[in-house]
Amino acid sequence: MTLTIVSLLPSLQNTNGDAENAAVLAARARWAGLDVRVVPVERADELPARVDAVVLGSGSDASLPAARERLLELLDELRRWGTEGVPILAVGTGWELLSWGIERADGSTIEGLGIVAGRAVARDGRVAGDLVVRAGGGLGVLVGFENHARDYVGAEGSPLGRVQAGSGNGRGAGQEGLRMGDVIGTHLHGPVLAKNPRLADAILERMCARAGLDYVPGKQAAVVDGYAEAARAAQLRAAGVATAAPA
């Protein structure tokens, strides 16, 4: 069996390299001896017959209308994936587009697809910097970089985790991201799965469980995870977080 990871709209939603999280999942799956492929999907007619996981990265505000129109073509599939337990990782504006909607600083709004609860609302100034999150569900501490001009409200009942350093969802909530079933939304930009292998493995475990396969990280994963832990330790020090459980 070949596992299929879909990278949605990589031409529009990859400003911070978020789409490359699909490549991280594929690499770890191959190290575990699994057959896997990454399929870039720009439009509905490019969807493969089988989808085992979905990665949707972040784009610029200028690309929001075009990205929304393309995602609308996939609305039925996104709803089905969300209810059938297909893991979906959505970052930044990709996450915002799956929400109830986006309120921009100029007063205009963009209707979201309504896949997850909550909405993005304009904040007073952009936040950019290290983001450290203590996540639930055995994920430990997640690290990354946030860069957004909107807060996120309405995810209070289902956050990805608690903020240890940075802003996260903002509005004084002390929370970051959203997790609804196997759909994860986050402000953690860039190759978040490379820096946080425990999160990558959790997604892979879910993918394999749905496919009736076992997932056991390969030997190469242990080598690479050592590099990831060194990078994580440096970022934790820079963010002023003294200690954290490995992830």
Binding site listing? 126
User: Quick check: 32 and 204 in contact, CB under 8 A?
Assistant: yes
Nearby residues of 168 by Cβ (< 8 Å), 6 or more positions away: 131, 133, 146, 174, 175, 176, 177, 187
- The verdict on whether 148 is a catalytic residue reads no
Q: Which residues pair with 55 in a beta bridge?
A: 7, 89
Annotated binding residues for substrate, written as ranges, equal 126
Q: Catalytic pick from 189, 195, 206, 232?
A: 189
Q: How are strands ordered across the β-sheet holding 88-91?
A: 35-41, 2-8, 53-56, 88-91, 183-186, 178-180
Six-digit token string for 98: 């799956």
Nearby residues of 223 by Cβ (< 8 Å), 6 or more positions away: none
Q: Kind of pairing, strands 140-153 and 161-165?
A: unpaired
- Please count the other Cβ atoms lying within 10 Å of the Cβ belonging to residue 35: 11
Q: Which residues pair with 12 in a beta bridge?
A: none
3-class DSSP state of 55: strand
User: Quick check: 229 and 246 in contact, CB under 8 A?
Assistant: yes
- The catalytic residue positions are 189
